[in-house]
Amino acid sequence: MATIDHLEAMSTQVRRDILRMVHAVNSGHPGGSMGCTEYMVALYFEAMNHTPKPFSMDGVGQDLFFLSNGHISPVFYSVLARSGYFNVSELSTFRKINSRLQGHPTTHEGLEGIRMASGSLGQGLSVALGAAATKKSNGDPSLVYTLHGDGELQEGQIWEAVLYAGGKKVDNIIAAIDANGQQIDGPTDGVLPMGDLALKFEAFGWKVLVVKEGNDMQSVVNALSEAKAMTGKGFPIALILQTSMGHGVDFMAGTHKWHGVAPNDEELKNALGQLPETLGDY
Amino acid sequence: MNYSNHGSQDTRSGFGAGLLELGRINPNVVALCADLTGSLKMDAFAKEFPDRFYQIGIAEANMIGMAAGMTIGGKIPFTGTFANFSTGRVYDQIRQSVAYSDKNVKICASHAGLTLGEDGATHQILEDIGLMRMLPGMVVINPCDYNQTKAATLAIADYHGPVYLRFGRPKVPNFTSSDAPFVIGKALHLQEGKDVTLLATGHLVWPSLLAADILALEGISAEVINIHTLKPLDTEAILKSVAKTGCVVTAEEHQLYGGLGEAVAGFLSKEYPAPLEMVAVNDSFGESGTPEELMVKYGLDEHAIVRAAKRALSRRG
């Protein structure tokens, strides 16, 4: 079991990766990536049972993860590389021509660790439910995890899937919501108010855990542990993570401004100064 | 004609029979349906294999996504709903979660085209072949009768990759052999001829055979080829035939845009330019009516094929 100190050191390094990746190509989505870093690190380095090498698309006997809000690919790629799915040096190819690290994740280039393409929002929960159904059918007791943006929940397909999972009592899935309250055009409440997400999921037959400190590693680790213990009991689990977009860098935190904007040279220097190199840059 | 109708049956029942047989011979096959189990003739599979049948409810986007996810771990999912809801309604889900994600999903679509009949244009999709042909890596199949639909259903389970299988609602002549093998991408010569090539798909194959008989009475020898697979197109078979006859007619229950006609035209214009006439719906929506009335009104019957063949012949000179 990883210590909280190690997971926090990993998070700092992952945030450095995210910023250096998007800066190098002056594109990509750092804000949401940094807000979800604790969840992704806790998932891959603590919660999930998974085998990076050799990578198996079918993942029999392993927990699976589906990133539904594919635009936060930088955090996904960094965590996959640092888990050992592929070499961290490949992070330098992000969004460049002939790279396996496409702007949004894809299976199409054979990148280890990716099991579905995502980017067009709202599709990941359905795919995860299919994978969960196959696990049940195969007698595989492993779990299926997902991550969604809160803005992404405005897509109708999500609610088809939420209805299905609750109605059919799917109990081998843990869906996490990155509730940062922000989307491209501004605060979620200004774009299309989402109301009480926990009540919505509960009304659809889900059990909900709200993590008020979604950027506190201990809180996230505890919540994942609690969520795992709730599986197998006849209902799906939603983990609502209250996070801060751009967390970890003072001038990037808590605003939608850094949703899809890369830092310039000076901003990168300032940001990296707040995130000491812990495990070695790629 | 060398073919006779063994007794009209609906192609969707061929799908249902094929799916049931797959259930018995391939344990990896699972089926999903969006509240149209009876219409898709999936009830026999659902009854015999309740643990491998997923009733999704009226939520086609979720159905396509779940099918994509089910492949992870080795299942071969067959989704079933009307063609309209199998394609246009869920195009982005198919594009990203199935086609771009290289998932082994079989999208099985009934009630395609005008022959859906009385329900009218909301349900009569005439754009689905075009939509699906445009997706990289997607195989597109439109079999002609009950026996061929059953054979195609069995064949696509053995092919690894996304497939769109299109079939229909009404009873139509069942004339192919029940033991004919189905080879994806391999067009079938139904009748040899030397004056004009008739390339037909789906419900237009039988009328093309009827048209060939009418043409024969006027001394015109038509070659009839069943293009059951629209993608990949059997360009070799088409080229060989058109090189012999010098002119060609395409016939399909689909819009002019994006269907068999444009696929053949796009290929022949590069490889072997020849007079080509298309029998298809001319940039319009359908309407309520019986299947037979609609096929006549929209110019998709044997007489329309005969007229098109004569136009092609006169242009060839």
Q: Please give the residue range of the domain that contains residue B47.
A: 9-172
Residue B144, domain CATH: 3.40.50.970
Instruction: State the average pLDDT over residues A180-209.
Output: 96
Rounded (5°) CA angle A145-A178-A209:
65
Q: What is the DSSP letter of B38?
A: T
Cβ contacts below 8 Å, chain A against chain B, sum to 118
Please indicate whether, in this complex, the C-beta atoms of B97 and A115 are within 8 angstroms of each other.
no
Query: Per-residue pLDDT tens for A92-137?
Result: 999 999 999 999 999 999 999 999 999 999 999 999 999 999 999 9
CA distance A131 to A173: 9
- Residues of B whose CB is below 8 A from A115: 72
Contact A161, A120 (CB under 8 A): no
Counting every residue, how long is chain B?
Answer: 317
Of B115, B141, B172, which residue sits at a domain end?
A: B172
Please state, in angstroms and rounded to a whole number, the distance separating the CA atoms of residues B220 and B249. 14
- Is B140 found in the same domain as B200? no
Mean pLDDT of A20-25: 98
- Position A1 pLDDT exceeds 90: no
Contact B213, B193 (CB under 8 A): no
Looking at residue A275, what DSSP letter applies?
A: S
Please, are residues B41 and B69 in contact by the beta-carbon 8 Å criterion? Answer: no
- How high is the mean pLDDT of chain B? 98
Q: Which residue of B has its CA nearest to A119?
A: B96
| 3-state SS, residue B40 | coil
- Chain B closest-CA separation from residue A171 CA (Å): 15
Domains identified in chain B, total number: 2
Which of B191, B117, B131, B135 has the alpha carbon at shortest distance from B166? B131
Q: Is residue B155 part of a domain?
A: yes
A157 close to B (CB below 8 A): yes
Q: Residue B68: pLDDT above 80?
A: yes
| Whole-number Å distance between alpha carbons of A103 and A87 | 18
* pLDDT confidence band for A282 (50 / 70 / 90): very high
Q: Write the CA distances from B170 to B11, B86, B158, B281, integer angstroms.
A: 8, 18, 28, 18
Query: Same structural domain for residues B157 and B209?
Result: no
DSSP A46: I
Based on the fold, state whether residues B232 and B296 are members of the same structural domain. Answer: yes
Mean pLDDT value across residues A17-33? 97
**What is the pLDDT averaged over residues B217-229?**
98
User: Could you tell me if B37 and B165 lie in one domain?
Assistant: yes
- Tell me, yes or no, whether B214 lies in a domain: yes
Q: Distance of alpha carbon B129 from its chain centroid, rounded?
A: 8
**How far does the CA of residue B84 sit from the closest CA of chain A (Å)?**
17
Asked, for residue B4, whether it belongs to a domain, the answer is: no
Using the predicted structure, report yes or no on whether residue B2 has a pLDDT greater than 90.
no
Residues B108, B201, single domain; the answer is: no
Residue that finishes a domain, picked among B172, B199, B221: B172
Residue B262: CATH number of its domain: 3.40.50.920
Cis peptide, bond prior to residue B170, ω within 30 of zero: no
Domains of chain A as residue ranges with CATH: 4-273 (3.40.50.970)
Pick the catalytic residue from B60, B127, B252, B302. Answer: B60
Q: What are phi and psi of B277, to 5 degrees?
A: -120, 140
Strand B53-55 relative to strand B29-33, pairing? parallel
Residues B118 and B201 in one domain: no
B200 and B107 belong to one structural domain: no
Q: Assess if residue B46 is contained within a domain.
A: yes
Q: Whose CA is closest to A124, among A76, A54, A61?
A: A76
B127 an active-site residue? no
CA separation for the pair A161, B205 (Å, rounded): 40
Report how far residue B72's alpha carbon sits from residue B258's, in angstroms, rounded to the nearest whole number: 32
Instruction: Tell me, yes or no, whether B117 lies in a domain.
Output: yes
pLDDT digits (tens, 9 = 90+) for A126-178: 999 999 999 999 999 999 999 999 999 999 999 999 999 999 999 999 999 99
The model's pLDDT over A211-259, given as tens digits with 9 standing for 90+, comes to 999 999 999 999 999 999 999 999 999 999 999 999 999 999 988 899 9
**Segment B32-41, tens digit of pLDDT:** 999 999 999 9
Under an 8 Å CB criterion, which residues of B touch A? 30, 51-52, 54, 56-57, 59, 61-75, 77, 92-93, 95-97, 100-103
Q: Are strands B229-231 and B139-141 parallel, antiparallel or unpaired?
A: antiparallel
In a domain, B178, yes or no: no
A161 touches chain B (CB under 8 A): yes
Residues of B in contact with A140 (CB under 8 A): 73
Contact in structure between A132 and A144 (CB atoms under 8 Å): yes
**What distance in Å separates residue B55's CA from the closest CA in chain A?**
10
Cis preceding-peptide flag for B173 (omega within 30 of 0): no
Q: What is the pLDDT of residue A101?
A: 98
Is residue B136 located within the same domain as residue B200? Answer: no
B168 shares a domain with B19: yes
Q: Is the dihedral of CA B233, B235, B237, B239 positive or negative?
A: positive
* A interface test, pick of B60, B62, B96 with most A CB neighbours within 10 Å: B62
Q: Which token pair is B32?
A: 């999903």
Q: Which residues of chain A are within 8 Å of residue B70 when distances are taken between CB atoms?
A: 130-131, 133-134
> Based on the domain organization, do B44 and B168 belong to the same domain?
yes
Q: Are residues B93 and B149 in the same domain?
A: yes
Same domain assignment for residues B195 and B238: yes
Cα–Cα nearest to B110, from B15, B182, B28: B15
What letter represents residue B228's amino acid?
H
Average pLDDT, chain A: 97
Summarised one tens digit per residue, pLDDT across range A195-205 is 999 999 999 99
Give CA–CA dist A179/A242, Å, rounded.
5
Q: How many CB atoms lie within 10 A of CB B15?
A: 28
- B160 assigned to some structural domain: yes
Looking at the domain assignment, is residue B269 inside a domain? yes
Q: Indicate if the pLDDT at residue A57 is higher than 90.
A: yes
Task: Give tens-digit pLDDT for B121-167.
Answer: 999 999 999 999 999 999 999 999 999 999 999 999 999 999 999 99
